[in-house]
Amino acid sequence: MKTILHCDINNFFASVEVILNPELTNKPVIVCGDPENRNGIVLAKSQKAKECGVKTAETLAIAMKKCPDAILVKPSYATYITYSKKFFNICFQYSNLIESFGIDECWIDITHLVSKNKKEYIIAKELSRRVKNELGLTVSIGISFSKTFAKIGSDYKKPNCITEITVDNHQSLIYPLPIETLLNVGCSMKNVLHKFNVFTIGDLANLPEEIVVKHFNKNGQDLYLKAKGINDDTIESIFDKKNLPKSLGNGCTLSEDIFTYSDASKIILALSQYISFRLKAKNFLANGVKLTLKLSNLKVISKQSLGNNSFNSADSIKFISLELLSQIYNLGGSSLGIKAITIHMLNIQSININQLSFLENLKFLNNLETKVFDIKKKHGYDKLIRGTDMENNINLKLQKIEKEKFFSFQVFDVDF
């Protein structure tokens, strides 16, 4: 039987901001996109802000009502990537069998390290202590014979805790938890399972397997096996090229439908920045973008663009996505709004980002001005501006400044 750790850095973005500015220690910190204007969404929060009820991805207006004394800071993406790589470097000193589950968490197979003289808890404690001493960050760690149980273990007690879920105690610890605690159980699957009186992980695990297969097919069977901790110990090493995702992306379902190009641009910008962040953290490049929209009538439309040059910058993703948006949907010219937006990066390559040549960047910048011009021409000069122009009083006089409207949304991964 294998021994697997799941390591999750506590409040990663906010914790790094505290390291950069120690005066924020033990204070309610919210990392958000636009602290100056006090709008946008919550990207991350410190433990103190979490204790006030602040949730990731909710609007800043809602968060500030819960925590009026919160300190707002801009995200430091480059620094987050640096700390992420240092975290993984520490993990690699324990095993080469590491599977990333984001920039701040991973599974580690430590079966080869466990012995009578060195138990798994001691190894986890040592790793936790190293991350704290070397990076100034805390991690919550789950230990189990199953990846799913290890992940649940790292969430079981936070922050800076270690939870062991074993063959002997997993039914008492895991089975009473809500069914949505399992990975890949979203709102739709949860509602379907509830109709069959499956409300907890134990409810699913105790069903006859043939009933699960009959009603839920292979996806249901996979969940059933995970609920029992069976066939769930294979680490897909990030060193294995065959484990490269075919695509990588994120999407969001909006709290209310949007009807303007300006509102859609804000969502696309937020998604582009986060996707770029994920690509760079993994040293991934892509040479294509696919934009998918779900409309008010639940119709799904999409379009993709493939190029010769690889990239991973937020600007590249954003401008290509905006161009695709203008091609597939006439915002403002339809009674149908947009309910959800998803961006996929296509043809993922595991290449050192330094291999992007100066010439390729130059080609992109030359094309960029043309794309900006086309978008401004079609939708209006004030519909797309540089961030630096927001501080330029002369430019502001040329533009009609309206009160910005922000929407709460939950960002979800759509890698495959």
Q: Which residues are catalytic?
A: 105
- Contact assessment for residue 118 and residue 70, using Cβ atoms and an 8 Å cutoff: no
Of 384, 360, 362, whose CA–CA distance to 372 is shortest?
Answer: 384
- Residue 29 φ/ψ, nearest 5 degrees: -110, 135
Of 306, 242, 323, 311, whose CA–CA distance to 279 is shortest?
Answer: 311
Using the Cα atoms of residue 299, residue 304, residue 310 and residue 313 in order, give the sign of their dihedral. Answer: negative
Q: Which residues contact 108 (CB under 8 A, 6 or more apart)?
A: 4, 5, 6, 7, 91, 94, 95, 97, 98, 235
* CA 32 – CA 64 distance, rounded (Å): 12
Which token pair is 335?
A: 């009674």
* CA 184 – CA 205 distance, rounded (Å): 16
> CA-CA distances (angstroms) from residue 224 to 101, 127, 231, 386?
21, 32, 11, 50
Of 229, 242, 243, 225, whose CA–CA distance to 147 is shortest?
Answer: 229
Q: CA-based Rg of the chain, rounded to a whole angstrom?
A: 23
* CA 35 – CA 215 distance, rounded (Å): 48
Long-range contacts from 84-91, C-beta under 8 angstroms, 24+ separation: 84/12, 84/281, 85/281, 86/134, 86/135, 87/9, 87/131, 87/135, 87/137, 90/127, 90/130, 90/131, 90/134, 90/135, 91/7, 91/127
* Phi/psi-derived region of residue 8, left when phi > 0, alpha when psi is between -120 and 50, beta in every other case: beta
Q: Which residues contact 368 (CB under 8 A, 6 or more apart)?
A: 315, 319
* CA 393 – CA 399 distance, rounded (Å): 10
Which token pair is 117?
A: 């003289």
